[in-house]
Structure 1
Amino acid sequence: MTNPDISVIIGAYNAMPYLTRTLTSVVEQSIGHDRMEIITVNDGSTDTTGKELERFAADYPGLFQVIHQENSGGPSAPRNVGLDRARGRYIFFLDADDYLGEETLERLLAAAETNKTDVVLGKMVGVNGRSAPASMFVRNQPRTDVFSSRVYWALNPLKLFRRDLIERHGLRFPTGYKVCEDQLFTALAYLRADGISVVADYECLFIVRRDDGQNITVTTRGAEERIRALRMMVDLVEENVPPGPDRDALMHRHLTIDMYHALLHIERETDRAVQENNLGELRDMLSGSYPESLKTRVNAITRLRCELIQRGMLTELLELERAEQAHKSAGTSPDVLVEDGSAYARMPFFRDTGLSIPDACFDITRELQARHRLDSVSLDGTRLTLTGHAYLRRVPGERTGVELVLRERDSKAEHRVPAEPARTAGLGADEDGGAYTYADAGFSVTADLLSVADGGRLPRGLWDVFVALDTDGVTREIRFGNKRLPEVDAKPATHVVGQGDGTMAVALYFTKPYSNLTVDVGENKHRVADKFRIDGVAWSKTDTATLEITGSWKLATLPLGALSVRLSSEEGALVDFAVTARGAARDKGFTAHVPVSGLAAGTWTASLTLAGAGGAAWLAPVPARPNMEAGRWRRLGLPWYARPTAGGEQFTLRIDRVRVGKAMAERLKR
């Protein structure tokens, strides 16, 4: 029997009525029944979970395996049982109260196969008020790892795993843990994986908060289990990742999330002795696992928590947690003090002279969230104008300065232009309970590309657009453009601007995948030639010595005075002929009238050219017209002709005087 592509493993304990939707979402997967198997483990349920599993198995013969067992006390054992039975090339774990988007398995499998990766994360969505990991799903990531992305912040196992990875490393879920048991399995899979993919452009997995409050993370009480799991993960990281930035990156996640959840349960504990014991365990853990490099990496609230834990200050730690929970309930944050270019959160014990906790524990300068939006971008001639707003959340500021920064991607050369302030009434009213307003966060800035580079034109290059903020001495540089009004056209717009030696090819575009604004000067990625088309070449109906060359362009702007048709001879002579607009302006059509009667005898080749700095920039050859008749005229009473040559791809004319004697001889031979 052919093995399926994917084995879906579902452990279920008292999962009704949620289980029905879960199973339905799997059997309705677009990948089809012939490419998957569904392994379900009824972990000693006392409701109708077992009957529902059997009902689905009967309705879909050959698709389901249903295993009934005594209750194991947690999700690890059912998942391990499923792994032992699985035949698929890939494994997908699904909880019995969650469900899938219709194309989830098809998309995850395609990502794994296309990118040859061992683990694939699909975008998660919280349902019924449940929070879901989000930072790793900002964009698709074809191939990444735990150190260069945020995937480690999603340690649940609800992902696609290559079964060969699991079996090769003997990965199984540890038993005896009620919470966080899945972290060890997922973390080891991440660390052993040959590449990790992220599918962020489709809602793959819907994780549900149960109305009955029976999610296992909710029903498990006390800090002991969470501290034990935290210790397990700290040991795992230290055993598998050497000291340094990579280890700190993973430890950051555990101290920020897992230690926080442990502290929540310590605060809820009513027995002081148990609280003291919990605090001692955390203190012992930090004594060998919290280096100075990690202190500078974690956020301020984690830094302060660790400081209080290391000092053994239980009363203060509990007060801090209650203050934090009060802020979360109210949707607010501690006030901010800006001083000497740094920002400090006025959390409990800030500059408490009796405790003398270092200001560094309250420093949130790096954590300040920048809010920004591009409202418009335009290029009028060579004048680039942007409008929008930018500010640092919770720092209203008495003095705010904004600069436009153009930075060349390779050389890192940069040019700055001060912005003019604009009022933004009501900005900030929809966050932080309206405690902060940013009425002066708007700006308008114009940079003339002919003079922005220290009085000269902006050189050729890819110039990424930034906004530099200075709010009461707190500075922040923001890559700009990915947040914008809907009316801002996201399609690339190529312009030819200026006149004479000041003519420039400029494209405004938004990068992929981050969608930030960049100015392409000099056709690095957006060739002007690709925007032109020659529609026709013919002799004028009123003058057989004049060519009419017609065409069109797909440029945002083009000064017609910069465009011409050039005839070049084999001897190096160049003659340019002006181009005029054809039809309505919106049609972007042109016509060039090219009188050839004044050209010297010889072979001449036609091209569409753009005049610019340092001479002509060749844009596009005029294509050959092999069946075109010759043009004829008289010069000083003698007959001349211009005959298109055959055999080449570019339009070429042979111009010469008709040799009367030679012509007569040819006739006599006939």
Structure 2
Amino acid sequence: MTASTVSVIIAAYNAMPYLTRCITSVADQTIGRHRLEVIVVNDGSTDGTGAELKRLSGVHPGLLRVIDQENSGGPSAPRNVGLEHARGDFVFFLDADDHLGPEALERMVRMAEDNGTDVVLGKMVGVGGRGAPASMFKRNQPRTDVFSSRVYWTLNPMKLFRRELLERHRLRFPTDLAIGEDQLFVGAAYLHASGISVVADYDCLFWVLREDEGNITRRLKGSELRLRFLPRMVDLILENVPPGPGRDHLAHRHLTVEVQQVLADQLVFEPRETQEKMLAQLAEAIEPLWHDGMNDRLSAMARLRLHLVRNRMLDELLEVVEFEKEIARSKAATPLLIEAGRAYARYPFLRDPAHPVPDPCYDVTDQLRPRHHVTGAELRGTGTLHLAGHAYLHRVETRDVTTELVLRERDSGAEYRLPVTHTATPGLGAAEDEGRFGYELAGFEAVVDVATAADGEPLPDGLWDVSLAVGAQGLSKEVRIGSKRAADVSGAASTQVVGFGETLRAVTLYTTKPYGNFTLDLGERKHAVLPHLGVRDIRWAADAPTELEVTGRCTLAGCPDGALVVELRDGTGDTAVAFPSQRVPASPDGEFVVRLPVSALPAGVWCGRLRIGQWALPLPRLDPRLPPAKWRRRGLPWYAKPAPDGGGRFALRVARTDLVKGLLGRLPLR
């Protein structure tokens, strides 16, 4: 199979001094120059870009293909020219301001080849204060699409495209747009692609903010420019995506990102007449995308913004935009109005009869997030879980607190709610949100007795995730707990064997991966008991020659007194004798010792195991070189020694010495 090739297309206009690093980063790609062609379209530069391209062609002979043309006024035409000349299996558009990580193209091409995808996004990193898209790069995505991921939230063209896709659909950048041309190109590519990949575990593209802020999107101002491409993006969605969740997913980006940018970055700086005109155009553009069924996807601020746009409430919009900017400057959260189990953000015009805006535009109930911190989590010896910490709803002061503990079995969904003790947390919240909110009664202490947690009955076997239903002032939100905990609160699994009447059960407190939340494992769903038990050595005790000394380890966090024993059984299975273990004082690894007084055993071949309740571990084979122990019982000689017929496991023969055999053994041979 022939290795895939890549055409890197660079549109360059007055790109010095950034151009040098850009092209060098391509020349140094680990994919190898034999798999690269670099097409640079010099779009009428006047700053020495042409001379630098000539120099770089000499530095990298055979790599660069330079095309000079008159200035076209934007990046579309030079990118299209480069695309017409491209011959690679894949195309990567790279702005002359930016540069690549050394392995970028190799990783992206491999991702496309391994998964048969048409578009690959490589992780972007902002440089010089430029913010880079991040939500789609939280993890690698070998194969996804535009509807089930966040890829649509980055519509710049610095991505890897399969050239066959672009040619099959004759995708080109529109040359009649000064900005937003990339959205139409990339959006169409996404919608037609047979799979999209995301490389998130490597910094592929370094997205540079020029010191002179010469990036084209920063040079071109005015809402009118943005309102040229937005209606066309809306048409692209309407023509290619039927009504439903898929269309709403794409619409969400434009109803939030584009609308907010038009209002805050452009429209507020324009003359009144232009503002009114552009607001009318914006309202017309978004109308096909926004319907009431989308409101659950939108933040309260987005709903408020869209309501004001739809109703052409210009003065109110200008006030809301300024309010948003003030929030961003102060980084302080907005107070809430809490009423009838709902929470409303106190944004401008809430319940203002002079500026009627419906309450749902301010409803943030579903956006409220609990915050928690665990300061204590311990499974004590009786199978009782003790928890402590604090938890509160952000921006909801802790009055009429109703927080309770929730245990939910992961597979069955069975749920039990247990009370907690509310404790004072003076000063909590003073260091955030400019001290606007106080959480003076956010503390909790909870005791979960596994024997009674199921409405007075023992908690059944299963994986019981631990949550808090954090409640105050009639509001309640559930949150898994443990991911935020004090440094001295361990997340390591702690397994105990606990007595329930005449039976023993395994109980483990552990934290899940990758989030680190607490779960109770009852019945060894994930954490077995036997790996915590082991035997290190068996030998005759130095101070008692007729006692076998068994040493081992038990790393269980707890078990009932006397439950860990060494059990010996005779060959018939009719007789069993148990000997309790004793912990070695101050042993860090749970070392124990068991003494077996073999002189009290009846005659026979004895097998052995280490046992705690229903869990048992066979004792290892005795060293055959172990000398016999000897004693007298009722005046007759007895012995105990390793038996040769143990089948590789512990076998101890206890017997009375045969005096005749012993005597014959001492007679000299004739």
The corresponding residue for 1:447 is 448
The corresponding residue for 2:259 is 259
Cα pair 2:267 2:278 within 8 Å, conserved:
no
In 2: Cα distance, 1:109 partner to 1:592 partner: 63
The corresponding residue for 2:517 is 516
Matches within 5 A, 1:368-517: 368-381=368-381, 382-424=383-425, 427-429=428-430, 431-490=432-491, 492-499=492-499, 501=502, 503-517=504-518
In 2: Cα distance, 1:68 partner to 1:448 partner: 78
Matches within 5 A, 1:1-12: 3=3, 7-12=7-12
Counterpart residue type for residue 454 of structure 1: D
In 1: Cα distance, 2:103 partner to 2:68 partner: 29
More off after superposition, 44-53 vs 185-194: 185-194
In 1: Cα distance, 2:647 partner to 2:157 partner: 63
In 2: Cα distance, 1:57 partner to 1:105 partner: 21
In 1: Cα distance, 2:320 partner to 2:645 partner: 86
Cα pair 1:224 1:278 within 8 Å, conserved:
yes
In 2: Cα distance, 1:137 partner to 1:476 partner: 28
Q: Secondary structure at the match of 1:296?
A: helix
Counterpart residue type for residue 415 of structure 1: Y
Q: Deviations over 1:353-406 (max 9, x none)?
A: 245432111111112344333444333333433344333333334333432322
In 2: Cα distance, 1:299 partner to 1:463 partner: 33
The corresponding residue for 2:593 is 591
Which runs of no fewer than 5 residues in structure 1 stay unpaired?
Answer: none
In 2: Cα distance, 1:333 partner to 1:406 partner: 31
What's the offset of the Cα at 1:272?
Answer: 4.3
Q: Secondary structure at the match of 1:587?
A: coil
The corresponding residue for 1:281 is 281
Q: Secondary structure at the match of 1:258?
A: helix
Q: Deviations over 1:23-73 (max 9, x none)?
A: 455555566666655544433322233333444443344444444443333
The corresponding residue for 1:577 is 579
Cα pair 1:39 1:65 within 8 Å, conserved:
yes
What's the offset of the Cα at 1:336?
Answer: 1.8
Counterpart residue type for residue 514 of structure 1: Y
Counterpart residue type for residue 210 of structure 1: R
In 2: Cα distance, 1:324 partner to 1:603 partner: 84
In the superposition, the TM-score normalised over structure 2's length comes to 0.84
Matches within 5 A, 1:325-404: 325-381=325-381, 382-404=383-405
What's the offset of the Cα at 1:593?
Answer: 2.8
The corresponding residue for 1:300 is 300
Cα pair 1:603 1:652 within 8 Å, conserved:
no
What's the offset of the Cα at 1:273?
Answer: 4.5
The corresponding residue for 2:290 is 290
Q: Deviations over 1:456-481 (max 9, x none)?
A: 44332222222221121222112223
In 1: Cα distance, 2:509 partner to 2:198 partner: 29
In 2: Cα distance, 1:23 partner to 1:44 partner: 18
The corresponding residue for 2:651 is 653
Cα pair 1:641 1:655 within 8 Å, conserved:
yes
The corresponding residue for 1:177 is 177
Change over 3 Å in CA distance of 1:184–1:267 after alignment to 2: closer
Cα pair 1:4 1:36 within 8 Å, conserved:
no
What's the offset of the Cα at 1:519?
Answer: 2.8
What's the offset of the Cα at 1:342?
Answer: 0.9
Q: Deviations over 1:410-443 (max 9, x none)?
A: 1122233334445555544554444334344444
Is 1:43–2:43 an aligned residue pair? yes
Q: Deviations over 1:142-188 (max 9, x none)?
A: 55444444333233333445556556665544443333333344444
Counterpart residue type for residue 135 of structure 1: S
What's the offset of the Cα at 1:269?
Answer: 5.6
Cα pair 2:398 2:441 within 8 Å, conserved:
no
Q: Secondary structure at the match of 2:283?
A: helix
Change over 3 Å in CA distance of 1:210–1:582 after alignment to 2: same
Change over 3 Å in CA distance of 1:99–1:398 after alignment to 2: farther
Counterpart residue type for residue 410 of structure 2: R
The corresponding residue for 2:553 is 552
In 2: Cα distance, 1:244 partner to 1:506 partner: 46
Q: Percent identity?
A: 49
More off after superposition, 658-667 vs 77-86: 658-667
Is 1:535–2:536 an aligned residue pair? yes
Counterpart residue type for residue 15 of structure 1: A
In 2: Cα distance, 1:450 partner to 1:412 partner: 19
Cα pair 1:143 1:195 within 8 Å, conserved:
yes
More off after superposition, 53-62 vs 344-353: 53-62
Cα pair 1:629 1:644 within 8 Å, conserved:
no
What's the offset of the Cα at 1:255?
Answer: 0.6
Cα pair 2:603 2:653 within 8 Å, conserved:
yes
In 2: Cα distance, 1:508 partner to 1:37 partner: 57
Cα pair 2:621 2:651 within 8 Å, conserved:
no
Cα pair 1:626 1:645 within 8 Å, conserved:
no
Counterpart residue type for residue 587 of structure 2: A
The corresponding residue for 1:617 is 615
In 1: Cα distance, 2:238 partner to 2:530 partner: 56
The corresponding residue for 2:268 is 268
What's the offset of the Cα at 1:127?
Answer: 3.3
Counterpart residue type for residue 609 of structure 2: S
Change over 3 Å in CA distance of 1:585–1:639 after alignment to 2: closer
Counterpart residue type for residue 52 of structure 1: E
What's the offset of the Cα at 1:252?
Answer: 1.4
In 2: Cα distance, 1:129 partner to 1:260 partner: 20
The corresponding residue for 1:16 is 16
The corresponding residue for 1:226 is 226
Cα pair 1:11 1:42 within 8 Å, conserved:
yes
Matches within 5 A, 1:96-245: 96-101=96-101, 104-105=104-105, 108=108, 119-141=119-141, 143-161=143-161, 171-193=171-193, 196-200=196-200, 202-245=202-245
Cα pair 1:6 1:35 within 8 Å, conserved:
yes
Q: Secondary structure at the match of 2:52?
A: helix
In 2: Cα distance, 1:195 partner to 1:384 partner: 47
Counterpart residue type for residue 507 of structure 1: T
What's the offset of the Cα at 1:219?
Answer: 1.9
Counterpart residue type for residue 127 of structure 1: V
Change over 3 Å in CA distance of 1:471–1:179 after alignment to 2: farther
Counterpart residue type for residue 590 of structure 2: K
Q: Secondary structure at the match of 1:281?
A: helix
What's the offset of the Cα at 1:407?
Answer: 1.7
Cα pair 1:626 1:647 within 8 Å, conserved:
no
What's the offset of the Cα at 1:12?
Answer: 2.9
More off after superposition, 527-536 vs 417-426: 417-426
Cα pair 2:607 2:652 within 8 Å, conserved:
no
Cα pair 1:4 1:37 within 8 Å, conserved:
no
The corresponding residue for 1:52 is 52
Q: Secondary structure at the match of 2:348?
A: coil
Change over 3 Å in CA distance of 1:62–1:272 after alignment to 2: same
**Structure ID, larger Rg:** 2
Counterpart residue type for residue 562 of structure 1: A
The corresponding residue for 1:73 is 73
In 2: Cα distance, 1:167 partner to 1:662 partner: 102
In 2: Cα distance, 1:199 partner to 1:555 partner: 42
In 2: Cα distance, 1:440 partner to 1:576 partner: 53
Q: Secondary structure at the match of 2:214?
A: coil
Q: Secondary structure at the match of 2:351?
A: coil
In 2: Cα distance, 1:322 partner to 1:87 partner: 50
The corresponding residue for 2:313 is 313
In 1: Cα distance, 2:510 partner to 2:83 partner: 48
RMSD over equivalenced CA pairs, Å: 4.0
